[in-house]
Every structure is written in structure tokens, then in C-alpha cells.
Amino acid sequence: MTTRTVALTGALGNAGRVISRRLEEGGYRVIPIDVLPSRNPFFEPSRVVDLTCYGDTVANLHGADAVVHFGSNPWPDSDFFTGADRFRNNTIATFNVFQAACQLGIRRVVYASSETVQGHPYVAVHPERIPILESDAPLPQTAYALSKLTAELLGEHLCRMHGTVFLGLRCANILYDVPGHHAGYDLVPGYWADAAVRRETLWKYVDSLDVADAVVCALEAPVARSEVFNIAAADTIMNVGTRALFEAHFPKTVIADEFGEFATPVSLAKAADLIGWVPKRRWRDRLAGHAHPP
Ligand SMILES: NC(=O)c1ccc[n+]([C@@H]2O[C@H](COP(=O)([O-])OP(=O)(O)OC[C@H]3O[C@@H](n4cnc5c(N)ncnc54)[C@H](O)[C@@H]3O)[C@@H](O)[C@H]2O)c1
């Protein structure tokens, strides 16, 4: 498939900036879209669009060969009111982007779903077994996770209705190799003293460059139906084995026999098989590369 012009929503967000660079390096022309104006429009021109407005969404996706939809409110709910606001923003924006793509005859949309559809923060539920597969029943626990699961459902049915292919990336917690970043690798050693701190993510993470690679793989893969993929680093964020973590924190979870010592608790096989994506970055290498490892 040759896709040259990509409309990128959430282009000024943390992941969006990395994806934008990766797409441009890969030879794509990017139409950057965000509800926020750029702090420096001369260096970082973008289209200011609130995707919850359908007309503006259609007008700004016009001319794109494909859409990468990462524009949403990514924060977990702090209460019912913030949850309602997040669900409204994310779900209406996603519906508008997806339907506008269909209306304009755009054949492919790659979008950010989230690991949270599988049960985050794992207080009321626990994983039945690991590794978790994409086909396991979703167990959303928050309005944010419901907004992402709704995106997956919209992708499935709009594909059936119009033929546009929607590929959802169930990203784990995205980390950045940027010292001082709120989700930077320098925080990682701070998680080791108390495994309960990262329990709610099942100790998963993914490097932002691996997310950007997954976007490119999903844009280019010969997949003709809507799918979702686990997108996580191959290992956990912890310096102790995954089996020990689950035995201590999720004693009822069944652990597959072949489980690797530090392996992430989600299966990455589907992404490897269907879109040819495998994660390349690990915190061990990232921290080793820092001039002053924490
Ligand atoms: N950060 C993570 O660890 C993580 C994990 C899994 C999935 N995700 C998903 O990845 C995507 C990007 O996350 P991020 O961490 O870069 O978030 P971010 O907040 O840094 O970026 C999101 C961007 O979307 C824009 N946006 C929000 N609502 C919009 C609207 N109505 N119209 C236009 N733009 C809008 C925001 O202005 C922001 O720039 C989100 O969909 C998020 O849910 C993030």
C-alpha cells in the first residue's frame, strides 16, 4: 500500500510529536491536527481543530490518504465528572474522525486504543491468565477505558458498513527517552522498591519510538479488516521476574508455562504476525545509554 498524506490528530501531544517526526522521516506528508494551538506555529504549524465538531473534522481530513488518530484526553478518571467529560470528548471526537474518514473515502485509520480496556486498574478484576490476548473479553473499569472500547466497536462496525479499515493500537503506558519528562525513563528505578506502584498497569510500558514504529507498520500492512493489537515493550518495567510479580499480586491468574522471565504479560504475537511489528526498545538499554544513569 502506498500512503503519502496522513492526517495526524493529537499532533501536538506527547505521542503525537514523536509519531509526526517518524512519519516525516518515513517520507509521509503529515497534516497535523490538534485542538490546542502550537506554542510556536512557525516551527510547528498545525491545524487547530476541535474534533468534536463534525463539519470541521470532515473539512480538515479532506485530502488525506490515511488518518492516524491519537487526539484524545488520555488521563485516567479521577471522579465521575471528569470521567463523563473524557468519555464525551474522546467518543465524539473518535466517531467524527472515523465517520469523516468513511465519508471522504479514506481507506485506512490507525488509532490509539489503550491497554486499559483489559481491566486497568485491576482492583475489581484480575487477568484470568497471562499472556493476555487481544481476543480475551475486555473488562473496562473506567470511563476512559469505555471510550477506548467504544472506539474499537466503532472501528469494527464502520468497517463493515463502509469498508474503511480501522487498526487500533492498545498501547501500554508510553515512556519517553527524554530526561525530566513526566513519563521519562529516569523514573523507572523509582518503581522498583514497591511493586504495588505500577501494579495497575500490570508493569507494562512501551517506548514512544516503538509506538511510532507500530503506527507506520499499521499504515503499511496488508490487513483488510479492522483489528486491535497489544502494543507493549517485550519486558516489564520491573527488575524482578513477571512470574514472581503475578504470584504476589494476582495469585489467581494462571501463568502460561512458556512465560519468559521478564516477559510482558500481554501477547505481542498478533502484532508481529499481522502488521510485522515487534518492540525494539527496553528500559535496560535506555538507562544504560543515559550519561548519568539514575
Ligand atoms: N500516554 C499513555 O501512556 C497512553 C497509553 C495508551 C494509550 N494512549 C492514547 O494515546 C493517545 C495520545 O496520548 P498522549 O499521551 O500523547 O496524550 P496527550 O494529552 O499528550 O496528547 C493528546 C492530544 O490530543 C489533543 N486532543 C484532545 N482532545 C481533542 C479534540 N477534541 N480535538 C482535537 N485534539 C484533541 C490534545 O490537545 C493533545 O495534544 C491518546 O489517544 C491516548 O488515549 C496513551
Q: What local confidence, expressed as pLDDT, does residue 33 receive?
A: 98
Task: Render pLDDT for 186-221 as a digit per residue (tens, 0 to 9).
Answer: 999 999 999 999 999 999 999 999 999 999 999 999
Beta carbon of 36 within 6 Å of any ligand 1 atom: yes
Q: Does 51 map to a domain?
A: yes
Return the ligand 1 atom nearest residue 71 CA: 24
What percentage of the chain reaches a pLDDT higher than 90? 91
Cα dihedral value 256, 200, 172, 189, nearest 10: -100
Question: What residue owns the CA closest to ligand 1's atom 18?
Answer: 13
Q: Report the separation in Å between the CA atom of 18 and the middle of ligand 1, taken as the mean of its atom positions.
A: 12
Q: What local confidence, expressed as pLDDT, does residue 287 receive?
A: 93
Q: Does 294 map to a domain?
A: no
Residue 43 confidence (pLDDT) above 90: no
Task: Render pLDDT for 221-267 as a digit per residue (tens, 0 to 9).
Answer: 999 999 999 999 999 999 999 999 999 999 999 999 988 999 999 99
For range 126-131, the mean pLDDT: 97
Q: How many CB atoms lie within 10 A of CB 283?
A: 22
Residue 137 confidence (pLDDT) above 60: yes
Beta carbon of 70 within 6 Å of any ligand 1 atom: yes
- Edge to edge, what strands does the sheet with 165-171 contain? 47-48, 29-34, 5-9, 66-69, 108-114, 165-171, 227-231
Please choose from 22, 73, 150 the residue to mutate so as to test ligand 1's pocket, defined by most ligand atoms within 8 A of CB. 73
Q: What local confidence, expressed as pLDDT, does residue 76 receive?
A: 78
Q: Does 153 map to a domain?
A: yes
CATH number of the domain that 200 lies in?
Answer: 3.40.50.720
Banded model confidence at residue 69, pLDDT cuts 50, 70, 90: very high
Q: What local confidence, expressed as pLDDT, does residue 293 receive?
A: 45
User: Please, what is the average pLDDT of the chain?
Assistant: 95
Q: Report the separation in Å between the CA atom of 147 and the middle of ligand 1, taken as the mean of its atom positions.
A: 12
Q: What domain range includes position 195?
A: 5-289
Q: Does 169 map to a domain?
A: yes
Q: Does 152 map to a domain?
A: yes
Q: Report the separation in Å between the CA atom of 193 and the middle of ligand 1, taken as the mean of its atom positions.
A: 30
Q: Does 268 map to a domain?
A: yes
Is the pTM higher than 0.85? The answer reads: yes
Q: At CA 185, angle to CA 9 and CA 14, rounded to 5?
A: 15
Count structural domains, the chain: 1
For range 92-105, the mean pLDDT: 98
